[in-house]
Amino acid sequence: MPDEMLEILKRRRSIRKFREEKLTKEEVEKILKAGLLAPSSKNKKPVELILVEDPHTIQALKNCKNMGTAGLDSAACAIVVTADSRKSDVWVEDASIAATMMMLEAESLSLGSVWIQIRNRQSASADAEIEVRNLLNIPESYGVLNILAFGRKAEEKAPYKEEDLQRSSVHRERF
């Protein structure tokens, strides 16, 4: 199918409500594999992933940020995306690519996902990145980009249509 990737891109929407059903080990492994297959600058592979399936730890992650964490309320699992800033000066970009690849893999499996930004965000009392780092024992040299929440969709959102594309954002040859 020549347009299979474009169809996945159209269908992928942020899902914040999930059914109370675990993901299979195979589904989780495919999502993780997508993150590990992501390209990185100079192929340095600074990204490291923390899979969280324990509901209490997922709730604790939710409390590390003061808003925008609704996806963690019912997520079957979460993946905290980190990267070693000593390995790469563009760790944010490398981690973003890995996170995106995992979200696209989830959609290809008909699973839902949502990006929960942690870097440059706040908790009720401190920096959200520090809160997550402390909770999960992440070394100081690792940046914490985001938390991805995954699960079986409990809400449906219409896929994007061709007319939704902002074609005015495309410039040819010059801005």
Provide the mean pLDDT of the chain.
97
Chain-centroid distance, C-alpha 4: 21
Q: Within a domain: residue 159? A: no
Q: Within a domain: residue 22? A: yes
The reported pTM is 0.96
Return the pLDDT at 102: 98
Task: Give the tens place of pLDDT for each residue, 88-124.
Answer: 999 999 999 999 999 999 999 999 999 999 999 999 8
Q: Within a domain: residue 170? A: no
Measured in degrees and rounded to the nearest 5, phi and psi for residue 131 equal -60, -45
Q: Within a domain: residue 120? A: yes
**Strand ranges inside 108-141, DSSP E:** 112-117
Residue pair 88/46 in contact by the 8 Å Cβ criterion: yes
Q: Within a domain: residue 172? A: no
Q: What's the domain range around 35? A: 9-152
Q: What DSSP letter does each residue of 14-66 carry, written as one string?
A: B---B-S-PPPHHHHHHHHHHHHT---GGG---EEEEEE--HHHHHHHHTTSS
Domain count, the chain: 1
Q: Within a domain: residue 161? A: no
Q: Within a domain: residue 118? A: yes
Q: Within a domain: residue 174? A: no
Residue 1 has pLDDT above 80, yes or no: no
CATH code of 49's domain: 3.40.109.10
